[in-house]
Amino acid sequence: MPKQTIRDINWQGKRALVRVDFNVPQDENGVITDDARIQAALPTLNYLLEKGASLVLMSHLGRPKGGPDPKYSMRPIAEHLGTLLGRPVQFVGEVVGSEAEAVARALQPGDVLVIENTRFDSRETKNNPEMAAQLAKLGDVFVNDAFGSAHRAHASTAGVTDYLPGVAGFLMQKELDYLGGALDNPQRPFVAILGGAKVSDKIAVIENLLTKVDAILIGGGMANTFLAAQGYATGKSLIEEEAIDTARKLLAKGEDCIHLPVDLVAADAFAADAAHKTVAVDAIPEGWIALDIGPATIAHFANRLAGAKTVIWNGPMGVFEMPAFAAGTVAIAEILASLPNAVTVIGGGDSAAAVRQAGLDGKISHVSTGGGASLEFLEGQVLPGVAVLADLK
């Protein structure tokens, strides 16, 4: 069911309580190293401000253990956001409580407030009703623009809608349009590319996609388990022994759909400077590790992608953080960036990072901001943070 968005609300004089995903990486000095998630929220925030709203922004950051931790404070994020918005951004050092409520009540149209890391309150992840009610006191209408957290039923993503009407922000709507459109009404041929380390993370995705796509291309560490299921010796490559039987069943079910590597880049150690060479899938030296797809596989995958009109990609083709084993992932990104008239969707996480690292994100139709959320969406699950938003009438 389509959801109401911020365009469906008269914002003049209202406080927008916005759940954003500002869980951005920082260095040891607290300097933000990648602000892509903050940048992605700007269209929503600027629209609300233009329409006469004041903003109360909430997000989690990192994984604080059991309570407040200065390392994960939202204060530096608030300061950076002020620079991007070109206006002052207030900050309160609590998640809920009298100070946050007082500052929120005093907001005037155009004012912006960031509250402290929602996970500093242990009730957040339990979707505690009392905390949700306290959060609701900070705004008049709830806006969920945090697709990356929409698969979590937390107080700030779902529970708050028990007390406030909820609508989608532009980023949330864009995610639903691209991912939902790809799954529900794709232009064909429709090809899925799956990588990353573990088959177990993608079993439900593969089973769902087998009913929808024309081809599934599998690379990354998860391909090793499929190769093992076919009887190949894989050296010391990452294998999920407990998933081999499942991989075998998926191959049988998708024999005309699933495509595996035909060659690999293998190394004598898991290290950036390890000795490495390209080998056929049946020729991995004993004790060596497969760390990337090889050139013949890149060519094979390119042939399957030629003419594709819809492509979803989740998970790198190798250990792209190491330059020697990044060629497969970069090649796939370049192929997708060059596809004419195709809808290309990157499902967040490492594959999104790889596309940005290659400088190709501007040539992709949509780069998702949610790794785990996009995976669950691709599995066909209903995301809690989406389900609670008001339906479009």
Instruction: Give the residue numbers annotated as catalytic, written as ranges.
Output: 37, 198, 349, 372
Q: Which amino acid is at 105?
A: R
For the four alpha carbons of 240, 245, 246 and 251, in that order, the dihedral sign comes to: positive
> How far apart are the C-alpha atoms of 391 and 121, rounded to whole Å?
30
**218 forms bridges with which residues in the sheet?**
194
3-state secondary structure of 167: strand
- Residues 341 and 309: beta-carbon distance below 8 Å: yes
3-state secondary structure of 314: strand
> How far apart are the C-alpha atoms of 5 and 391, rounded to whole Å?
9
CA distances from 49 to 3, 86, 211 (A): 21, 12, 43
SS (H, E, C) 47-69: HHHHCCCEEEEECCCCCCCCCCC
- Say if residue 83 is exposed, middle or buried (CB neighbours under 10 Å; 0-12, 13-18, 19+): exposed
**Which has the closest alpha carbon to 118: 168, 164, 152, 84?**
152
